[in-house]
Structures are given as C-alpha cells and as structure tokens.
Amino acid sequence: MSSSKSEEQQIEDQSQISISIDEPHGGKQISDYVFSPNMQYIATLSSKDQSIIGWTITKELTIEYGNSISADDLKSVLNTREGMFPGSTLDYVLAGYRKPLEGVSECEQIILSLDNYPGFFGKYSKAIAFEIIDIATKSRQILSAQGLIGTAASIAFLKNGTLLVVFCEANNWKSAIYVYSTKSGRMVATRIFDERLHNFCLIGLSDEERLFFSGPQHSLESYNSYILNPRTFTLDESPDTDVLHDIYSPTYQDYESIGSINIISDYIIKINNNNLSIQKLSQIKVGKII
C-alpha cells in the first residue's frame, strides 16, 4: 500500500498519528480486514501494533491512505465505555484469532466487536458486544435507542454508508431490527418480529438494497421470511416478498436441516448435491453448474 508524497507529509504533520504509510502498521502483519459494502473503502487491523487503518480504493484499483487510529487512541475511546476496561483488555479485543472487524463504511466508521458470547434467549442464540468508532475523529458513535445496550446478533452498514442496521434478540423469543443514521446516531426505524433469527443479510444493489430476514415463529410452529426496505423508515414488506420462495422455502419442521441461505449482494447461492444454483435477484435469472 502506497501513498503520494503530499499524503506522507500530511501524516507527519499529525503528531497524534505515528503510523508510517510506507510501512503500514509499523511493518507488522495485518491480522484482519473488512471492506465497505460498496467496495470503495477497506479497513485493516494489526493485532501486533494494535492499530486500525482506513484506505480508499480508487477506480484504478489503487489503495490510498485515509485515516488511522492507534492503540493509545483506541484505549482512550474504549475507556469511555462504562465497564469496558479492565474487564476486557485491548489485547483481547484486537486478538487476531477473534477477527474483530465486523464492518466499515466509506464514511470511515468501523464496527468493532468487543466480545462474543451466547445470547440470553436460547442455546442457538448469540450476541456481539460492539462499538461504532469513527477513524477520522477517533470517537465513539453512540446509538440512541431504548432497549439497545451495545449488543447485537448481527450488524451491518448499508451500501451508501448513511444507515446502520442492527439486529437484536428480544424477550419472549422475538427479534428486533433497528435502523440508525450514521451521522446522528439516532434511530430512524425499528420493527419487532415474532420470529427468531435464522437468516439476516443485505441483498440487492444501491437503491434496490433490501434486508432479508427469516426465522421460525415457535408459538405458531411456522417459518416466515421478509424482504424489507430500510430506506422507507417504516420497514414495510415490499411487494416482492415471495421472490425467494422457489429456491428457498424451508418449513418449521425442516429449517434446521436445510440450514441458512448464502446471499452475497445481488446473488443467491445454493448447493444441492452436485448442482450449484446461482440466482440473480435483480434479473430473476438462474444459472446452473453441474
């Protein structure tokens, strides 16, 4: 990774940053990385020197330095979270085996996993203790939502980086989705579901990006799927809710054996014995490889 002379001079002028861009992370090994949803920004982490660097990916596929946050900066930021230290150390949070980078936006905000542990509502549930950290300002982004205390089952930025989606487990075998503005940290939409988490991911491209959520509703012994539009701020079901039914239609009785679906951006990938089926959501075309 390289940068221009002007960028190097700019870094030298910022006394709080001691990271050489000619030798990222002080020459230490990169232990984790994550791309922004639009693939125009990448954050790298070294557990050895405990720094995180943000890089811009240009149209020419070169990587240019953006901003960074050092070990001292991270300690300062995380110490503002009540109860964070000394119970968990920075060595643990940034340990390479943990892969703590959960996400990054082109707005230079990262999702940093602080801990992973079983959820409170069933043996198959899980939770992530997380922080949203702005690399440029070296500060926490505090999310304002009643009932959300910094843990989630899943969390992701939308492709344009302006909204953050948090999926949480709720009481009574229910689930909740929160949508936040990454600029203000304020919640702009929320919805409670009677289903438990089985699938949760972002699908589609740009303005057509949607949330796909599915899971069992134990009280009725049913299995339901939803495709939601986070940009309406109401999370109403879109007209194409059943678009996945032909290739993915588990029931309450068989959803555990079928497993979760693999959705990558605009593509659904499904393997059945020696057949690999790929469905492109935006065009509803299926390609099969045998």
Give the Å distances, CA to CA, from 172 to 63, 195, 200, 218. 47, 10, 19, 10
pLDDT of residue 147 exceeding 80: no
Q: 176-200 in b/e burial notation, b at 16+ Cβ within 10 A?
A: bbbbbbbeeeebbbbbebbbbbbbb
**pTM for the full model?**
0.71
Instruction: Output the pLDDT for position 44.
Output: 93
pLDDT of residue 220 exceeding 90: yes
The more confident residue out of 196 and 265 is 196
Residues 247/253/254/260 CA torsion (nearest 10 deg): 70
What are the structural domains of the chain?
1-128 (no CATH), 150-260 (2.40.128)
pLDDT of residue 152 exceeding 90: no
pLDDT of residue 9 exceeding 80: no
Half-sphere exposure of 274 (CA within 13 A, CB side): 1
DSSP state of 238: P
Instruction: Output the pLDDT for position 43.
Output: 93
Q: What confidence tier does 289 reach under pLDDT thresholds 50, 70, 90?
A: very low
Q: What confidence tier does 53 reach under pLDDT thresholds 50, 70, 90?
A: very high
Instruction: Output the pLDDT for position 138.
Output: 92
